[in-house]
Amino acid sequence: VTAEKAGFDHFMMKEIYDQPKAYRDTIGSRISEDGSRVVLDEIGMTADEIRRIRNIHIVACGTAYHAGLVGKSVIEKLVRIPVEADVASEYRYRAPIITPETLVIVVSQSGETADTLAALREAKRSGARVLAITNVVGSSVSREADDVLVTWAGPEIAVASTKAYTTQLMAFYLLGLYLAQTLETLEQAEIVRTLAAMQSLPEQVESILARSEEIKAYAEKIASHEHLFFIGRGLDYAVALEGSLKLKEISYIHSEAYPAGELKHGTLALIEEGVPVIALGLQTELIEKTVSNIKEVTARGGEVLGIAYEGDNELAKSVDRTFSIPRTLDLLSPALTVIPLQLLSYYASLARGNDVDKPRNLAKSVTVE
Ligand code: G6P
């Protein structure tokens, strides 16, 4: 069993450390050798079919849904096609407006989640083209979708998803750039710059993992708390949702992710002396706004851990402590910021004596609706 875990105590930790390789494998040969374009031969849609897409629906459950929220921002930013992201169990029953010009993207690590599969079938019945992002070749979702983009994360055993999420992000970056190059919505130089930045991500993840002790110390500090908040704006908010879910799943600490600007409309009432708040500030244009929200928290005694780019002194001086992230494009930052949040939930779970790989009440794959 230790061999399967490659010397780690738990599958989750092994899978967190698998991520640099999983990023490389998922990018694989999907970037042309000269680094100028995305090659997605597995997508059967012709350029004409892509030009006919009027709107996109992303449908998934749990962590895959959180990857979908990042995917929504990425595609809207790169391609300017309207994208909605829905939880699969909600999507089916809200009579979504699906037309033959709708592209439905289902995201599922296992490819067997009942709600996601049902949403896929509903979308196909309504005449939409369905693209699946999945980690399991031959899964039900992969068999029934029109197009399949495989995440090459390798088997994920721990219930708490880590490398499946981050490789789903890679799939969305590739897909967004692919649509952008086909529809010519992005300057060629911008495509090249983004692809180069993507190729630096695995090494940057390695450099974050080398500093896991910093997160361990913080996790041990917050492990005795019962409530915790994550705040962020834009893509940082999407990552905050995933960080919060991860923490709840395995440490059983109650946490909430909040759009930083929305805190003052209610949830700020819960901030008192010593309440831990994790603030993500990687969206350059929004950092100043997030800093003012951090001040609302610290003024009430909340203790803030800031997640910021290396050298971002503005955010660093507004918080109690900082964990720094190597510089990347803001669009790609979720692929780095989620790493310390995964480590935080792992170490907090460990400090509380929980079964990290098999949290109570949860299953790896949910095949009931
Ligand atoms: C379960 C797992 C989650 C996962 C979700 C969706 O609830 O515990 O970690 O995100 O299902 O799974 P899928 O295989 O569809 O990505």
Give the pLDDT means over successive 10-residue stretches in the chain (369 positions). 82 97 97 97 95 98 98 98 97 92 98 97 95 97 98 96 98 98 97 98 98 98 96 98 98 97 93 97 96 97 97 94 98 98 98 93 88
Predicted local distance difference test score (pLDDT) of residue 365: 87
Taking the centre of ligand 1 as the mean of its atom positions, its distance from the CA of residue 60, in whole angstroms, is 9
Residue having the nearest C-alpha atom to atom 8 of ligand 1: 364
ipTM metric: 0.98
From 11, 59, 63, 357, give the residue whose CB has the most ligand 1 atoms within 8 Å, as the site to mutate. 63
Predicted local distance difference test score (pLDDT) of residue 247: 98
Taking the centre of ligand 1 as the mean of its atom positions, its distance from the CA of residue 245, in whole angstroms, is 11
Predicted local distance difference test score (pLDDT) of residue 2: 60
Distance of CA 72 to the CA centre of its chain: 11
3-state SS of the chain: helix, strand, coil percent to 5?
50, 15, 35
> Alpha-carbon Rg of the chain, whole angstroms?
20
Helix (H) or strand (E) holding 322: strand 321-325
CB of 19 closer than 8 Å to CB of 205: yes
Residue having the nearest C-alpha atom to atom 11 of ligand 1: 365
Q: Which residue has the tokens 């409309």?
A: 265
Q: Which residue has the tokens 């012709």?
A: 46
pTM of the model: 0.97
Predicted local distance difference test score (pLDDT) of residue 369: 85
Predicted local distance difference test score (pLDDT) of residue 3: 64
| Length of the chain in terms of residues written | 369
Predicted local distance difference test score (pLDDT) of residue 127: 94
Residue whose C-alpha is closest to residue 325's, from 310, 338, 313: 310
Helix (H) or strand (E) holding 336: helix 334-351
Backbone angles phi, psi at 104, to 5 degrees: -105, 125
Predicted local distance difference test score (pLDDT) of residue 367: 86
Q: CA-CA distance, 270 to 55, in Å (whole number)?
A: 39
Classified as helix, coil or strand, 87 is: strand
